[in-house]
């Protein structure tokens, strides 16, 4: 375990140096009490247990958004990013209701480290991350193996981010490429990959607050912590929440507008956190 903790420490030290070099965030809106005030109302999606096989429908069915990919390029892009995405499962025990399960989504940023939303892993007895693969039908997601995990670091209340590490030297096969210091602007086309919705794409609606960027993503309960990906395949951030506005709701569990934190802001928060 000392070796893994040393690895986590090294990663965070490097990221901290990069975060300092990038400079302080100038786009955050804060109240007098120091807490972040996101643009627009939003809420954290609930994280229900996985309900079974994915429906055999294309998440992009009906979408006319031009992402610039050929069909073959799009399929490979989706396949690669599904493999970088982690299904997170937690279990806890309540004396009144007994054993309960929950979880969300994460993204492998190194073979042994996963980035997710902190609220996904709050108050658990045990936790594991599940590898994901896109089946040959290019629609169904398979879950071939579970890896035991622990929380390595967690941000303060200003950033809802946690860093997880695998135990016993187990690793994920495809960490997602990271690129720091890149601006995200209104109108940018990005993708999200989540445990429930599988994937969606949309354009940035408001990029003023890097801790809570508003975007046209279809997200549902269980997608929290999932990666937001640029068309070049690099990580732009992670999903934190879905819109609370009734006009953005598809149903009780799904919205067409989401909020995410940028990779730079997430790593700044982790660089200031304590290792566990």
Q: Specify burial of residue 142 (Cβ count, 10 A radius: 0-12, 13-18, 19+).
A: middle
Whole-structure pTM value = 0.80
3-state secondary structure of 126: strand
19: pLDDT confidence band, cut at 50, 70 and 90? very low
Quote the CA–CA distance of 108 and 235 in Å, as a whole number: 10
Span 166-199, pLDDT tens digits: 988 889 999 999 989 999 999 999 999 999 999 9
Percent residues over pLDDT 90 in the chain: 52
Span 109-138, pLDDT tens digits: 999 999 999 999 887 778 889 999 999 999
219 close to 258: Cβ distance less than 8 angstroms? yes
161 close to 118: Cβ distance less than 8 angstroms? yes
pLDDT of residue 8: 52
**Topology adopted by domain 2-26+48-59+70-176+267-271:** Thrombin, subunit H (2.40.10)
| Enclosing H/E stretch for 179 | none
Domain positions in the chain: 2-26+48-59+70-176+267-271
């Amino acid at each position: 375990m000392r070796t893994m903790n040393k690895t986590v420490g090294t990663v965070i030290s490097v990221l901290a140096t990069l975060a300092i070099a990038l400079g302080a965030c100038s786009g955050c809106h804060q109240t007098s009490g120091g807490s972040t005030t996101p643009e627009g109302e939003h809420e954290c999606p609930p994280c229900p247990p996985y309900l079974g096989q994915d429906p055999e429908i294309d998440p992009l069915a009906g979408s006319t958004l031009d992402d610039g990919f050929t069909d073959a390029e799009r399929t490979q892009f989706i396949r690669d990013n599904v493999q970088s995405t982690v299904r997170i499962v937690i279990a806890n025990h309540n004396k009144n209701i007994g054993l309960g399960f929950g979880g969300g989504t994460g993204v492998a940023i190194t073979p042994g480290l996963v980035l997710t939303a902190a609220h996904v892993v709050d108050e658990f007895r045990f936790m594991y991350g599940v590898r994901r693969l896109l089946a040959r039908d290019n629609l169904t997601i398979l879950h071939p193996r579970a890896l035991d995990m622990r929380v390595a670091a967690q941000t303060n209340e200003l950033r809802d981010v946690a860093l997880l590490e695998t135990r016993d030297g187990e690793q994920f096969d495809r960490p997602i490429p990271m690129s720091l210091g890149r601006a995200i602007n209104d109108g940018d086309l990005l993708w999200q990959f989540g445990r429930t919705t599988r994937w969606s794409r949309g354009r940035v609606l408001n990029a003023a607050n890097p801790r809570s960027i508003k975007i046209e993503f279809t997200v549902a309960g269980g997608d929290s912590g999932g990666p937001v990906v640029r068309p070049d395949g690099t990580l732009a951030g992670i999903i934190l929440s879905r819109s609370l506005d009734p006009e953005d709701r598809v149903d009780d569990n799904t919205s067409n507008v989401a909020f995410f934190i940028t990779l730079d802001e997430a790593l700044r928060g982790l660089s200031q956190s304590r290792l566990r």
